[in-house]
Amino acid sequence: MKIRKRYHLKKKMLKDVEKKLGDYSTILKSDSKVELIETDTEDIILIDGTPMIMWIDGEPFPTIKGALELDIQSRYVVVDMGAVKFVIKGADIMSPGITDADPNIKEGDLVIIIEESHRKPLATGRSLISGPEMVKNREGKAIKTIHHIGDKLWDLTI
């Protein structure tokens, strides 16, 4: 990942990001140092030097490190322990491994994938089907993984 530019966010852009994050806007604290990094792949927002938010198709969404700081109540998908080893290697999420999902998820939504026992985030992705379908289906792909534990963004140090 090659960094092209790095600069502090202006208040107007920060308010726009906060609005777009919705339920996840609590990740932005008023006393934090917020910077934007433009890279050759996706733009990343650093909060106090840690990559907490990434831009996916023009939409801000928490990274896994950002999701670890949140109380995840929406746009979540829970996978069983058998799926964890595949998820942390970057595999797409298959319906049989899903035990629960936010019923408000629609096809195309960005989601946070969490494991069932400790409810810790493992990955983020884009849903291919709705939340209720993910739980009901017993075959097929449900989520295209975008970011997972151990990838370049997870290991990014500034």
Query: How many domains is the chain built from?
Result: 2
CA 23 to chain centre: 13
Whether residues 61 and 88 share a domain: the answer is no
Q: Which helix (H) or strand (E) holds 156?
A: none
Task: Answer whether residue 153 is part of any domain.
Answer: no
pLDDT digits (tens, 9 = 90+) for 125-149: 999 999 999 999 999 999 999 999 9
* CATH of residue 41: 3.10.450.120
Tell how many helices (H) and how many strands (E) occur in the chain: 4, 11
pLDDT digits (tens, 9 = 90+) for 50-87: 999 999 988 999 999 999 999 999 999 999 999 999 99
Task: Answer whether residue 125 is part of any domain.
Answer: yes
Long-range CB contact pairs, 82-85, < 8 A, 24+: 84/115, 84/122
Domain around 61:
3-67
How far apart (Å, rounded) are the C-alpha atoms in residues 105 and 84? 21
